[in-house]
Amino acid sequence: MHFSQYKPRRLPPAPRPAIGALPPPPATKACPALANLIPLADIDPALIEEVLDAAFGPDRFARTAYKVREGTEWLPGLSFAALDEGDHLAGTIQCWPVALTDAAGRRHPMIMVGPVAVLPGLQGTGFGKALVTASLTAIDPRAPLPQVMIGDADYYGRFFGFSAANTGGWRLPGPWDPARLLVRTANPAILPTEGMLGPWRG
């Protein structure tokens, strides 16, 4: 298994957005049907950081999720940006190469999904669902690695089938709420019952 297959993929041509700023506060909520998804690699990295700060706050770097993926780069083929109808950046999703290392030292590659970040003024209008759907759909069916994340089961379970049912024996390199350590796979039988989640080092 090589994460290199998730290099940038060419999406269907989209109008080149004028990506230069975050949107003004919305007068009305955006219509999700108008969300335009483009590769995250096409976005200025400074703008990505602005969206993450807005969604998670400036102390986000202390989160355990950052330690899980420490030293890795996000996977361009699975990471997207959502633009609003004015072609302003509305939200982002990043996916990362991680591994669960079991008691025998065997590393099980997984895709870490998130952060999913939607600008506060645009939350609840469908951008989050569009972003997660884009990443999950882009996963190569020939290498359907389990997807792991730290998030609200009420959201990621309800809409995407993530569950904490099989992660009870997993450990993370920092504090975590077991109810928020979620995994999604078509075949839960392949999941190790115990292990430590950390960056994939190929």
Ligand X SMILES: CC(C)(COP(=O)(O)OP(=O)(O)OC[C@H]1O[C@@H](n2cnc3c(N)ncnc32)[C@H](O)[C@@H]1OP(=O)(O)O)[C@@H](O)C(=O)NCCC(=O)NCCS
Among 74, 127, 162, 176, which residue interacts with ligand X (rule: CB under 6 A)? Answer: 127
Query: Site size for ligand X, by CB under 6 A?
Result: 18
Told to check if 154 binds ligand X by CB under 6 A, we report yes
Q: What string of H, E and C letters represents the secondary structure of the chain?
A: CCHHHHCCCCCCCCCCCCCCCCCCCCCCCCCHHHCEEEEHHHCCHHHHHHHHHHHHCHHHHHCHHHHHCCCCCCCHHHCEEEECCCCCEEEEEEEEEEEEECCCCCEEEEEEEEEEEECHHHCCCCHHHHHHHHHHHHCCCCCCCCEEEECCHHHHHHHHCCECCCCCCEECCCCCCHHHEEEECCCHHHCCCCEEEEECCC
Among 37, 40, 55, 181, which residue interacts with ligand X (rule: CB under 6 A)? Answer: 55
Told to check if 29 binds ligand X by CB under 6 A, we report no
Q: Which stretch binds ligand X (CB under 6 A): 2-10, 66-74, 120-128, 134-142?
A: 120-128
Rounded least distance, CB 178 to ligand X, Å: 16
Told to check if 56 binds ligand X by CB under 6 A, we report yes
Told to check if 73 binds ligand X by CB under 6 A, we report no
Rounded least distance, CB 142 to ligand X, Å: 27
Told to check if 169 binds ligand X by CB under 6 A, we report no
Told to check if 151 binds ligand X by CB under 6 A, we report yes
Is the Cβ of residue 3 or residue 162 nearer to ligand X in the bound state? 162
Q: Which residues bind ligand X (CB under 6 A)?
A: 55-56, 114-118, 123-129, 151-152, 154-155
